[in-house]
Amino acid sequence: MTALANIGKSVTGVFRRNPGKGGQSAQDENGLDGMVEVEDDVDASEFEDDESQKTEKPKSRRPKETKFTQQRIASFNPVLTPKSVLPIYFLLGALFLIFGGVMLNNARRVDEIYVFYQDCDKNAPTGDFANVPDDHYQYTFHKDYNKDDLPIPQWKYVADSDPDPEETQTGTCQLRFATPYALDGPLFIYYHIRNFFANHRRYVLSFSEYQIIGDKASLGQVKDNIGINCKPLVRNSEGKIYYPCGLIANAMFNDTFSETMQVISEDTGNEVDTIALTNKNINWSSDKDRYKKTKYSPSDVVPPPYWKKQFPDGYNDTNMPDIHEWEEFQNWMRSPAFSKFSRLIKRYDSSLPKGTYQLDIDLHWPVTMYNGKKAVYITHGSSIGGRNTAPGIIYLVGGSICFLLALISLISHLTWGRATADTRLLSWNKS
């Protein structure tokens, strides 16, 4: 401290003028007129370490000393020559052609039967069976058969004894079709819909995920949830919540396919046997992990408006739907991307022998008011799905293009090519 004080005394101060009264200078005690020597007051604390003034050492931005951060990873720089590129093109072309041929062959081996019945209640006879119009069916069989021996599908309409006047479509449509040979099993029976646009944004989002997973969802959860909610079909006039709520569930396809398919004698036209159909294992098994049995009590909720015929008196302890086991419902809740789609509704796990068969369908789901169509679609499928030739054709076209480009490149190389790394072609070696 003493040393610091001596240093302060030895510092020459700043001379300044001290104006007095009347503009005259004041004299200091040494007799100096107007000028005083002022010593700087040096505070020793300025020379002391101030912990608050310390700054942390800046963090280094230098990357870690690794091969990756220091860009010392060994690189691979292949030299693409015709000898290395052309075999790859030929190999890819050959693979695409093989895959495309296999896929196309599998698709063309699929047999399909379409029988449309959307206007069965208006145009089908009520007394006896008659042939359906030519635009109401489609047969596709991959094996050779005599088309003259295969009868045209037939239909007949049976009205309900006590039809509901509020229902747009009622009664039963009986469809008969024939197979020219035995169809390999398992046999899948779908309902096929056309001109039904289920990809509207408001429709696709109109359901409650809370109800799907089995929660006892409140009105606010099913109505005011952001994004996915049941608007505009949330509750009835009494204030009870619909279960399941929303537009998708309300519009569920509800034509009833019979549990059996009748075998018809070709000679007499009478039933001689029946084949049992099942509605089990018609959906992805993983969907059961999402759809859970509800925690609602039957008195808490009511069926959607279009389910009135199936549940005329509402829900009770015996008919409360269990969506965990209801595979038709799970299939329907998977909204289609296009206006033409099919949904599996029945299956037969054995081969279907050659013969004539009858399938009865109770009508509840009208489509004619919006020029829609509905059909029963029967097929046995294949390892790659239904009769869809598009993937196989795409692979064949892609493989052909790849093979053709490789062939053109090979001819060009053999005709006008040059040796790789030919130093004679360097600019300074050219004359």
- Of the listed ranges 148-152, 165-169, 274-278, the least confidently predicted one is 165-169
Share of the chain above pLDDT 70, in %: 87
pLDDT for the residue numbered 81 = 85
Angle formed at CA 374 by CA 369 and CA 378, multiple of 5 degrees = 175
pLDDT for the residue numbered 23 = 45
Q: How far apart are CA 356 and CA 262, in angstroms?
A: 9
pLDDT at 376 exceeding the cut of 70: yes
DSSP bridge pairs for 183: 352
CB of 142 closer than 8 Å to CB of 179: no
> Residue 423 carries which side chain, given as an amino acid letter?
T
pLDDT for the residue numbered 4 = 42
Higher pLDDT, 49 or 426: 426
Stated length of the chain? 431
Residues 6+ apart with CB under 8 A from 31: none
Helix (H, G, I), strand (E, B) or coil at 304: coil
For the segment 242-261, the average pLDDT, to the nearest whole number, is 95
Q: What is the CB-side half-sphere exposure of residue 64 using CA atoms within 13 A?
A: 3
Q: Which residues of 235-253 are buried (b: 16+ CB within 10 A; e: fewer)?
A: beeeeebbbbbbbbbbbbb
Give residue 383's pLDDT band: very low, low, confident or very high (50, 70, 90). confident
Whose tokens are 């050779």? That residue is: 144
Query: pLDDT, tens digit, for every residue of 3-57?
Result: 444 444 444 444 344 444 444 444 444 444 444 444 455 554 454 555 555 567 7
Give residue 269's pLDDT band: very low, low, confident or very high (50, 70, 90). confident
Mean model confidence pLDDT for the chain: 86
Query: pLDDT, tens digit, for every residue of 130-142?
Result: 999 999 999 999 9
Query: pLDDT, tens digit, for every residue of 80-119?
Result: 888 888 999 999 999 999 999 999 999 999 999 999 999 9
For residue 27, the tally of other CB atoms under 10 A from its CB is 14
- Of the listed ranges 46-50, 70-74, 228-232, the least confidently predicted one is 46-50
Q: Using CA atoms of 30, 32, 35, 38 in order, give the dihedral in degrees to the nearest 10.
A: -10
Give residue 338's pLDDT band: very low, low, confident or very high (50, 70, 90). very high
For the segment 138-159, the average pLDDT, to the nearest whole number, is 91
Give residue 67's pLDDT band: very low, low, confident or very high (50, 70, 90). confident
Higher pLDDT, 59 or 253: 253
End-to-end CA distance of the chain: 89
pLDDT for the residue numbered 90 = 93
pLDDT for the residue numbered 75 = 83
For the segment 361-380, the average pLDDT, to the nearest whole number, is 94
Q: How far apart are CA 180 and CA 149, in angstroms?
A: 8
pLDDT for the residue numbered 14 = 40
CB of 228 closer than 8 Å to CB of 317: no
Share of the chain above pLDDT 90, in %: 63
pLDDT for the residue numbered 370 = 92
Give residue 177's pLDDT band: very low, low, confident or very high (50, 70, 90). very high
